[in-house]
Chain A
Amino acid sequence: MPDALILLSSIALPFLGAIVAGLLPTHARNAAAWLAGAIALSMLAFVWAAYPTVADGGVVRHAIPWMPALGLDFSLRMDGFAWLFAGLVSGVGALVVLYARYYMSAEDPVPRFFAFLLAFMGAMTGVVLSGNLVQLAFFWELTSLFSFLLIGYWHHTAAAREGARMALTVTATGGLCLFAGVLVLGHIVGSYDLDVVLASGERIRSHALYLPALILILLGALTKSAQFPFHFWLPQAMAAPTPVSAYLHSATLVKAGVFLMARLWPVMAGTEAWFWIVGTAGVATLLLGAYVAIFQLDLKGLLAYSTISHLGLITLLLGLNSELAMVAAIFHILNHATFKASLFMAVGIIDHETGTRDIRRLSGLNRSMPFTARLALVAAAAMAGVPLLNGFLSKEMFFAEALSAQTSQLFLLQILPLAATAASAFSVAYSLRFIHGAFFGPDPTDLPRTPHEPPAWMRFPVEILVLACIIVGILPAATVGPFLDMAAHAALGAATPDYSLAVWHGFSLPLLMSFIALTAGVALYIGLQKQLRSAPDGPPMLRSFDGRRMFERAMVFLSWRLARTLERLLGTRRLQPQLRLLVCVAILAGAIAVQVRGLGPGNVMPSGIDPVLALVWVGGAACAFGAAWLAKFHRLAALILLGGTGLVTCVTFVWFSAPDLALTQLLVEVVTTILLLLGLRWLPKRIDNPATRQAEVVTLTRRLRDLTIAISAGAGMAGLAYGVMTRSPPELLAQHFLARAYTEGGGTNVVNVILVDFRGFDTLGEITVLAAVALVAYALLRRFRPAPDSVEIPEQQRDQSAYDEARPDRSEGDTVADWLLVPSVLTRLLFPVIILVAAYLLLRGHDQPGGGFVAGLTASIAIILQYMIGGTHWVEDRLRVPPLRWMGVGLLLAAGTGLAAWFFGRPFMTSYFSYLGLPLLGEVPTASALVFDIGVFALVVGATVLILIALAHQSVRGQRAVPRSSEGRAAATRVAGDD
Chain B
Amino acid sequence: MNPAADIPLWVAVPTALLLLLGAGLALVGSLGLLRLGSFYERIHAPTLGTTLGIASVLAASMLYFSALQTRPVLHEILIGIFMVVTTPVTLMLLARAALYRDRTEGSRDVPLPSPPPQRPGTDASAPDSVIVQSGAEKGRQGL
Point out residues on A near B: beta carbons under 8 Å.
Answer: 795-796, 799, 803, 806-808, 819-820, 822-823, 826-827, 829-830, 833, 968, 970-979
Contacts and interface: CB of A to CB of B under 8 A. Distances in A.
Interface residues of B, number: 27
B54 to A, nearest CB: 17
A302 to B, nearest CB: 76
Given A820-B96, A823-B89, A826-B85, A977 B113 contact: yes
A979 B85 contact: no
Interface in B91-112: 92-93, 96, 99-100, 103-104, 106, 111-112
Given A807-B117, A819-B96, A975 B88 contact: no
Contact of A979 (B86, B113, B115): B113
Contacts of B106: 975
Contacts of A970: 130
Nearest to B90: A823
B66 interface: no
| Closest CB pairs A-B (n = 5) | A806-B116, A977-B113, A823-B89, A975-B103, A971-B134
Given A808-B117, A820-B92, A976 B103 contact: yes
A976 B85 contact: no
A796 B100 CA distance: 8
Main SS of chain B's interface residues? Answer: helix
Contacts of B130: 970-971, 974
Contact of A822 (B82, B92, B112, B116): B92
26 contacts: A799-B104, A803-B113, A803-B116, A807-B116, A808-B117, A820-B93, A820-B96, A822-B88, A823-B88, A823-B89, A826-B86, A827-B89, A830-B85, A972-B134, A973-B116, A974-B127, A974-B131, A975-B104, A975-B112, A975-B134, A976-B100, A977-B113, A977-B114, A978-B113, A979-B99, A979-B113
Contacts of B93: 820, 823
Contacts of B89: 822-823, 826-827
A29 B104 CA distance: 74
A974 B100 contact: no
Most chain A C-beta atoms within 10 Å of own C-beta, residue among B82, B96, B106, B113: B113
B40 to A, nearest CB: 13
A975 B114 CA distance: 9
B82 to A, nearest CB: 8
B112 to A, nearest CB: 7
A979 B116 contact: no
A819 B112 CA distance: 15
A822 B85 CA distance: 11
Contact of B85 (A796, A829, A977): A829
Given A975-B106, A979-B111, 15 more contacts: A796-B100, A799-B100, A806-B116, A808-B117, A822-B89, A823-B88, A823-B92, A826-B88, A830-B82, A833-B82, A972-B104, A972-B134, A974-B115, A974-B116, A974-B131
A172 B72 CA distance: 74
Nearest to B87: A826
B108 to A, nearest CB: 13
Contacts of A808: 117
A796 B96 CA distance: 11
Contacts of A807: 116-117
B89 to A, nearest CB: 4
Most chain B C-beta atoms within 10 Å of own C-beta, residue among A806, A823, A974: A974
A615 to B, nearest CB: 16
A968 B134 contact: yes
Contacts of A830: 82, 85-86
B99 to A, nearest CB: 7
Contacts of A973: 116, 127
A971 B131 CA distance: 7
Contacts of A795: 138
Interface of B: 82, 85-86, 88-89, 92-93, 96, 99-100, 103-104, 106, 111-117, 127, 130-131, 133-135, 138
Contacts of A972: 104, 134
A974 B113 contact: yes
Nearest to A796: B100
Contacts of B138: 795
A799 B85 CA distance: 29
Contacts of A826: 85-86, 88-89
Nearest to B133: A971
Contacts of B82: 830, 833
A820 B103 CA distance: 17
A978 B138 CA distance: 20
Nearest to B134: A971
Nearest to A686: B142
A799 B117 CA distance: 17
A304 to B, nearest CB: 71
Contacts of A827: 89
Contacts of B104: 799, 972, 975-976
B53 to A, nearest CB: 20
Contacts of B127: 973-974
Nearest to A833: B82
A976 B88 CA distance: 22
Contacts of B92: 820, 822-823
A411 to B, nearest CB: 89
A858 B13 CA distance: 38
A659 to B, nearest CB: 16
A974 B130 CA distance: 10
A11 B96 CA distance: 74
Nearest to A977: B113
Contacts of A978: 113
Contacts of B131: 971, 974-975
A882 B116 CA distance: 43
A803 B99 CA distance: 15
Nearest to B103: A975
A666 to B, nearest CB: 15
Most chain B C-beta atoms within 10 Å of own C-beta, residue among A807, A808, A971: A971
Nearest to A970: B130
A830 B114 CA distance: 33
Nearest to A827: B89
A354 B103 CA distance: 85
Contacts of B115: 974
A822 B33 CA distance: 24
Contacts of B135: 975
A807 B122 CA distance: 13
Contacts of A974: 112-113, 115-116, 127, 130-131
B106 to A, nearest CB: 8
Contacts of A971: 130-131, 133-134
Nearest to A808: B117
A799 B103 CA distance: 11
Nearest to A810: B116
A978 B111 CA distance: 11
Nearest to B106: A975
B49 to A, nearest CB: 17
Contacts of A829: 85
A979 B95 CA distance: 12
B19 to A, nearest CB: 16
A780 B72 CA distance: 53
Contacts of B134: 968, 971-972, 975
A968 B96 CA distance: 21
Most chain A C-beta atoms within 10 Å of own C-beta, residue among B88, B89, B99, B134: B89
Nearest to A824: B89
Nearest to A972: B134
B68 to A, nearest CB: 19
Contacts of A823: 88-89, 92-93
A973 B82 CA distance: 37
B22 to A, nearest CB: 18
A807 B138 CA distance: 24
A359 B94 CA distance: 86
A974 B89 CA distance: 26
Contacts of B85: 826, 829-830
A806 B131 CA distance: 15
Contacts of A977: 113-114
